[in-house]
Chain A
Amino acid sequence: METKNVELIAHLMRRAGFGATRTELEELAAQGYEATIDWLFNTEKDDGIEIDLARRYHPDYSGGLGMAGFNAFWLHRMINSQTPLVEKTTLFWHGVFATGYAKLAQGRVLMDQIEMFREHGFGDLPNLLVKLSKEPSMILWLDNNDNHSGAINENYGRELLELFSMGVGNYTEDDVKEASRAFTGWTVANTDYMTMKARNDSLWPYGRLNLHFEFRENDHDQLEIDFLGHRDKSAGESVVDIICQQEATAIFIARHMYSFFVADEPPVPSWPYTPPRDPKAIEMLVEAYFENGYQIKPMLQRLFQADFFKDETVWYEKVKSPSEVVAGVLRLTGEYDDYDPAMNAEAGSVGVMGQSLVNPPSVEGWHWGDEWIDTGNLVERVNFASSHFNDVTKPGVRQMIDGFVLSTGGHASPERLVEVCLDQMGAVQISHESQGHLVAHAARDGSLEVNGEDAGRRRVAEMFQLIAATPEFQKG
């Protein structure tokens, strides 16, 4: 197998998924890049997630009393899904439309929102935004339950425009008011009881009660809206349709997509003042958006097929988010192909590293890129990876060591040790400087002999631990 092909597929799998093992990369590379993209977008195939078993073994994966069970189940999906791009796109939308547990006090309603992203995340944006606007989690998160005819609450209308679609500078304050007016009467059923249960964090008497959308016509302002220069009937759907026709929306979504899948951009608040890193790439994605009736899937397909994505200058140009770090490591170690109570602690690690899923710091979500890394978080990331690669009995670690032995015959110079370990961890490329440090470290113990004895295998695992601490592994 030509190395370059494997490395390109590895780049694709880091971005469109949560990484891949050396064996998986070889299988995908044998099919070729285009076929791999087709495989990634094939949502008809079984994702390999046995929901009946998940619910059987983990009550909170279905009951959703808190967020810990849901986070563990999502991490299980990231690690084991055979449709990794679906999970990655779901994570993408969660980052754009960040909604949090703190104000909802139940996991079940957040599970439903994430499932909606899973189901509709490749579809057309108007449908996604209408469904988002009807999600009870979003309604409570941004107070649309307090948005009444004659007494509007602008919170959702404003964030829909500012953070979810167009971005600051592309609408007026009057547009915010008109959008808000169109969403009056969009609320959750049994509003008083549900908001009280959330406020009291009450699971009594019989556990959480899932929320559902209710449209209250008698609380809906019927007066025609004047929104972004369009006069239309007052309806959330009308607002969404008009938003999705705007070039600003296409650019906004394209920048998010580029930043998430290609290379880190600065945080959203600076976008009005900072041009895109690659304006031509944004143009291509905007074209795909309009040529395909506001569909998301064609935008993503064009992105992964584009030279700007394949170009080596953007490889390792994205700092992995904590969920990518944890899911990526656990995919490699292969220790969670079954259900295990320890998954909760692994999901907790994602939060410790700064990304408590379904509990973002604010409606703005997380700031991605370099902001994932501070002194404390970096230590957590490195320690997490190191502790998992340390155990030579873990199936994935064992497989990587076996692959090392197969490649080297069990004899390796320090240089060869580093080279083959990088390859076994998913065709990882590192700088000459990083490689030099690793070789120097390996050289302290001289050449390596692995003859089925533990000491040799532990030295290989130690090299996996060191590679996991390199800047390139912490990026993707």
Chain B
Amino acid sequence: MATQTATQHLKYDRTLGYAAMDARGFYYPVSLTIRPDGQMFIQGRSHDGDTRGARITVMDYESNYGGDFGSYGSNDGQFTWPTDIAVDSENNLYVADEYLQRISKFDREVNFVNKWGVKGSGPGQINGPAGLTLDYEDNLYVSDHRNGRIQVFTTDGEFIRAFGSPGDGVGQLNLPWGITVAPGGDLFVADWRNDRIQRFTTEGQFVRTYGESGSGDGQLNRPASVAVDEDGYLYIADWANERVQILDPDGCFVQKIYGEATDSVWAQDYLDSNPDEKGARSQSDLEQYHLLDTDDPHEIASHIEPIFWSPICVELFDDKLFILERNRHRIQVYKKNN
């Protein structure tokens, strides 16, 4: 299953992180963002039965742990159902929370700065902020998913404009999730329930769509996140197909990857300190596709450890693609083949 097409646009590099509610690790992570200095901020969502993992973990590509901040709750600087995290040009951080209906801002030292958001459908009101991104002028874009639209704010929360409407027509959105501003300047939206990526100018003019419903090459099933490189290639977290797809600038299929995780540094540390589990694990075959009697990708992913399970966020940095898996609490890193 971990095979790729002959094109090999991406090649597996390493795995980062592991499951933990405190200290090193993350617990049901939903988003990551990377500062220019390489510091990664991983937003943990945790779950309603145990909320200790609702926090932001800081680490780098070499698995150096940089601490954590934030916690579950509704006070300033806390999260209940966090969805996305983004960083601006001054290294301020923004976190969206779809339950509290607000955006929280933290400074470069991760101190809480302010928050905004009122539930509603009027200009500047939000209903389920799900995705965040900033353009090159530090305007903050929010996928206001239950309102089926994109809203634009200043970094202080002042409403600028909104575009899009609920539906499945051209330029309409159905529960949109991840968004990104491409190096070329356009906005790409993971139009989740419409199984497609939509492209707009940052002023909200519709440009085109990518993908359609399905599980074939170039088809999508509930895409959660999209990243675009300088050459215009799209990297899509094809969430319900449990894979990542790469499309070329014309929308043509390039490659699909299913994941091939190995033990991260933090995973190795855990196993080294638990030799019984390490020994039993080393005797196990964690890729027993032949014993499964299902073709449901979600079910398969629950059994086969190395492959993606709920790939929820894709992020480009230098020549690498970081793929965050919510249900496996880790990041798989792929490098571009230049």
What residues of chain A have their CB less than 8 Å away from a CB belonging to chain B? 52-53, 55-60, 62-66, 68-69, 72, 108, 112, 189-190, 192-193, 196-197, 200, 202-207, 209-214, 341, 343-344
- Considering only CB atoms and an 8 Å cut-off, how many residues of chain B contact the other chain? 52
B47 and A193 within 8 A (CB): no
The residue in chain B whose Cβ has the minimal distance to the Cβ of A208 is B302
B19 and A207 within 8 A (CB): yes
Interchain Cβ contacts under 8 Å between A and B, 11 examples: A57-B81, A57-B98, A59-B28, A59-B326, A63-B47, A108-B302, A196-B277, A200-B274, A202-B277, A207-B327, A344-B49
What residues of chain B have their CB less than 8 Å away from a CB belonging to chain A? 18-20, 28, 30, 45-50, 80-81, 98-99, 175, 177, 192-193, 222, 240, 261, 263-264, 266-267, 270-271, 274, 276-277, 280-281, 283-286, 288, 291-292, 298-299, 302-303, 305, 309-310, 326-330
Listed from nearest, the 9 A-B pairs whose CB atoms lie closest are: A68-B49, A205-B267, A60-B47, A210-B302, A59-B28, A190-B284, A344-B48, A193-B280, A205-B18
Known: A63-B47, A204-B270, A206-B261. A193 touches B283 (CB 8 A): yes
Q: Which of B28, B263, B288 contacts A205 (CB 8 A)?
A: B263
Q: Kindly list chain B residues whose C-beta atoms are within 8 Å of the C-beta of A66.
A: 49-50
Q: How far is the CA of A66 from the CA of B21 in the complex (A)?
A: 14
Q: How many A-B residue pairs have CB under 8 A?
A: 127
The residue in chain A whose Cβ has the minimal distance to the Cβ of B98 is A57
A205 and B266 within 8 A (CB): yes
Q: How far is the CA of A60 from the CA of B53 in the complex (A)?
A: 12
Q: How far is the CA of A344 from the CA of B18 in the complex (A)?
A: 25
Q: How far is the CA of A209 from the CA of B329 in the complex (A)?
A: 12
B266 and A69 within 8 A (CB): no
Q: How far is the CA of A207 from the CA of B27 in the complex (A)?
A: 9
A62 and B264 within 8 A (CB): no
B303 and A341 within 8 A (CB): no
The residue in chain A whose Cβ has the minimal distance to the Cβ of B276 is A196
Q: How far is the CA of A108 from the CA of B329 in the complex (A)?
A: 15
Q: How far is the CA of A214 from the CA of B291 in the complex (A)?
A: 7
A63 and B28 within 8 A (CB): yes
Q: Kindly list chain B residues whose C-beta atoms are within 8 Å of the C-beta of A60.
A: 28, 47-49
The residue in chain B whose Cβ has the minimal distance to the Cβ of A52 is B222
Q: Which of A58, A205, A343 contacts B270 (CB 8 A)?
A: A205
Q: Kindly list chain B residues whose C-beta atoms are within 8 Å of the C-beta of A202.
A: 274, 277
Q: How far is the CA of A67 from the CA of B219 in the complex (A)?
A: 34
Q: How far is the CA of A206 from the CA of B288 in the complex (A)?
A: 17
B280 and A192 within 8 A (CB): yes
Q: How far is the CA of A202 from the CA of B271 in the complex (A)?
A: 11
B280 and A212 within 8 A (CB): no
Kindly provide the distance from the CB of A464 to the nearest chain B CB, expressed in whole angstroms. 27
Q: Kindly list chain B residues whose C-beta atoms are within 8 Å of the C-beta of A65.
A: 47, 50
